[in-house]
Amino acid sequence: MPDRRDAREIAHPFPPLFDARSRILILGSFPSVKSREQLFFYGHPQNRFWRVMAAVLGCETPQTVPEKREMLLSHGVALWDSIARCEIVGSSDASISAVVPNDLSPIFAAAEIRQVFCNGKKSHEMYRRYLEAQTGRAALCLPSTSPANAAWPLERLTRVWADALLPFLGGQP
């Protein structure tokens, strides 16, 4: 566990990704240091999110932020995080405290979200604690794409994510 004396209060530094075509919402917990530096989701090169999503959606793995945006939006996928502000040490989900949740209402107002998914247990815990009552929707917890989740090889992770997401995106699992 990281040393709590190193915790800093940080506000989420970039906006959600969604448009009127979004049909599913994938929530992380809070952006990693690399994501905060890049001002976009899943910025750590070892995070498998972009490889998993590309495989699920039948696309080439996007490399640039514009390519990542286009891949998700063109397939009806919205991205955001459960947490708007928190105290955190580096990128450690285990160190998160003093949580202020994100407001999901702009996404639900703009898009017909069929299902909410959480990328990992911390996001799911935060969603259930702070957001589920507001949205009136249960979220499905998917195994984390983080490199810290080494117990899940890429192929297994992709299969589980595809089985969960594709029915809500009009594809076959």
88-98, pLDDT tens digit by residue?
Answer: 888 888 888 89
118-165, pLDDT tens digit by residue?
Answer: 999 999 999 999 999 999 999 999 999 998 888 999 999 999 999 999
**How far apart, in whole angstroms, are the C-alpha atoms of residue 46 and residue 26?**
19
Residues listed for the chain: 173
What 8-state DSSP symbol labels residue 92?
-
Q: What's the predicted TM-score (pTM) here?
A: 0.93
The token pair at 141 is 């917890």
33-58, pLDDT tens digit by residue?
Answer: 999 999 999 999 999 999 999 999 99
CA within 13 Å, CB half, 169: 26
For the chain, give the percent of residues with pLDDT over 70. 95
Amino acid in the structure at residue 77: V
Residue 172: per-residue pLDDT: 54
The mean pLDDT of the chain is: 93
pLDDT band at 170 (very low <50, low <70, confident <90, very high): confident
Per-domain boundaries in the chain? 4-166
CATH T-level assignment (fold) for domain 4-166: Uracil-DNA Glycosylase, subunit E (3.40.470)
Residue 93: per-residue pLDDT: 80
- Tell me: pLDDT of 4 over 80: no
**How far apart, in whole angstroms, are the C-alpha atoms of residue 125 and residue 30?**
12
